[in-house]
Amino acid sequence: MFRVNENYQKLPGSYLFSTIGKKVAAYQNANPEKQIIRLGIGDVTQPIAPVIVEAMHKAVDEMGNAATFHGYAPDLGYEFLRNAIAKNDYAARGCDISADEIFVSDGAKSDSGNIQEIFAPDNKIAVCDPVYPVYVDSNVMAGRTGIYDAQTGMWSNVIYMPCTKENNFVPEFPKKVPDMIYLCLPNNPTGTTITKAQLQEWVDYANKNGSVIIYDAAYEAYITEDDVAHSIYECEGAKTCAIELKSFSKNAGFTGVRLGYTVVPKDLKCGDVSLHGMWARRHGTKFNGAPYIQQRAGEAVYTEAGKAQLREQIDYYMRNAKAIKEGLADAGFEVFGGVNAPYIWLKTPDQMTSWEFFDYLLEKANVVGTPGSGFGPSGEGYFRLTAFGSYENTVAALERIRHL
């Protein structure tokens, strides 16, 4: 008799955003007349920029013509896109990353879930707390996290690095050295970040201790402050200790288009074993390339017109972030983030738990946010709002919250 991967049974409940979706759907069904405003899941609302739409139309036409049809893409991505990434995201920032160290994928969620596969099952992981759930859940599925304690919401074999207002949301070096360190900066969910000098300390720590950093740079396009790194490879020595994950979802609105990439530098090794070669093998075996149409869309992101149009989108969302942050502060909330990231992290009022505040906000203001505790135990008592709504909805939501 076949048997199943028992680690799946250890996962408590369902994926955070599925739970929220179900709760909201149930409320809407019971109250069909209510106009719900969603500032919960980090999904964008602005349409795809004109220059990217144009690039996709062109690619679709190419696919419909025998002379310009594209079948299987190169496993690791088309040269035109990898070159554009290397030039714009790395060379332009002084980072020495070559095109063949870039692996194009169908999105950063897949990559951030799959990357743990190339590591040993007994590696110990460290995560910021709160944290994007995929890092932990994908390691649970791989049997790397030990036993779950429902009381504390913690796994016995995961090192948690609390990020709270007490430490200004800067993770501290763990006492026991982790093998794999997940860092998402600017941070989801807190919307906060650390300086480049602080990131350099993490790179030094990893190199000194033989840890690997899985660096999620999904939100780098929202950075406004000069002393914040856009890529971990801006730090000296990062190529021997860090993998960088990058999404097109937040800088170009590709949540429904699907495109991402991962950088695995050739200098990153475990003894003689090149992680670059391992990830290439994984890509070649379990993935068949990102679609041609999407890769042309990605290329358009880096054109001059693309950069200008996307700058407008990001400015649009950051205007929302400012409105939320200031509006909530005016209403007496304690708020964080929103300066280098499209997320605002607030302290729940009156000692409410995160889920209590979720229900309260849904029922009283018909506004959906994300409970901080869904991101980890140190998220309890916090709540996330995103700047990805329309400006009108964002202002309307704030108006409702102000009148609670």
The interface with a second copy within residues 238-297 (CB under 8 A) comprises: 253, 255-258, 270, 273, 275, 278, 281-282, 284-294
Residue 118 in the binding site for a second copy (CB under 8 A): yes
Residue 320, token pair as written in the block = 């929302």
Q: Which stretch binds a second copy (CB under 8 A): 197-205, 207-215, 229-237, 315-323?
A: 207-215
Q: Which stretch binds a second copy (CB under 8 A): 47-55, 145-153, 162-170, 347-355?
A: 47-55
Confirm if 206 and 174 have CB atoms less than 8 A apart. no
Residue 65 in the binding site for a second copy (CB under 8 A): yes
Residue 35 in the binding site for a second copy (CB under 8 A): no
Residue 208 in the binding site for a second copy (CB under 8 A): no
CA distance 246 to 311: 18
Confirm if 39 and 338 have CB atoms less than 8 A apart. no
CA distance 172 to 161: 6
DSSP 89: I
DSSP 86: I
Single-letter residue type at 60? V
Please state the closest distance from residue 175 (CB atom) to a second copy, in A: 17
Can you tell me whether residue 352 is helix, strand or coil?
coil
Q: Which stretch binds a second copy (CB under 8 A): 101-109, 231-239, 312-320, 324-332?
A: 101-109
Radius of gyration of the chain (CA): 21
Restricted to residues 124-183, the positions that interact with a second copy (CB under 8 A) are 133-134, 137-138, 141, 179-180
Q: Strands 180-184 and 158-162: what pairing?
A: unpaired
Restricted to residues 316-355, the positions that interact with a second copy (CB under 8 A) are none
DSSP 178: P
CA distance 205 to 213: 10
Residue 36 in the binding site for a second copy (CB under 8 A): no
CA distance 261 to 205: 25
Residue 216 in the binding site for a second copy (CB under 8 A): no
Q: Which stretch binds a second copy (CB under 8 A): 7-15, 162-170, 328-336, 367-375?
A: 7-15
Can you tell me whether residue 195 is helix, strand or coil?
coil
Nearer to a second copy, 179 or 228 (CB): 179
Q: Which stretch binds a second copy (CB under 8 A): 105-113, 149-157, 162-170, 217-225?
A: 105-113
DSSP 271: T
Nearer to a second copy, 284 or 330 (CB): 284
Among residues 12, 14, 312, 402, the one that binds a second copy under rule CB under 8 A: 14
Residue 150's nearest CA partner among 13, 345, 288 is 13
Among residues 173, 210, 225, 227, the one that binds a second copy under rule CB under 8 A: 210
Nearer to a second copy, 25 or 197 (CB): 25
Please state the closest distance from residue 21 (CB atom) to a second copy, in A: 9
Element (H, E) at 393: helix 391-402
Q: Which stretch binds a second copy (CB under 8 A): 36-44, 319-327, 336-344, 362-370?
A: 36-44
Among residues 70, 93, 322, 400, the one that binds a second copy under rule CB under 8 A: 70
CA distance 295 to 106: 10
Among residues 109, 144, 239, 276, the one that binds a second copy under rule CB under 8 A: 109
Nearer to a second copy, 278 or 331 (CB): 278
Task: Classify the phi-psi angles of 223: left when phi > 0, otherwise alpha if psi is within -120 to 50, otherwise beta.
Answer: beta
Q: Strands 212-216 and 242-247: what pairing?
A: parallel
CA distance 113 to 132: 11
Please state the closest distance from residue 270 (CB atom) to a second copy, in A: 5
Please state the closest distance from residue 352 (CB atom) to a second copy, in A: 28
Among residues 31, 61, 79, 364, the one that binds a second copy under rule CB under 8 A: 61
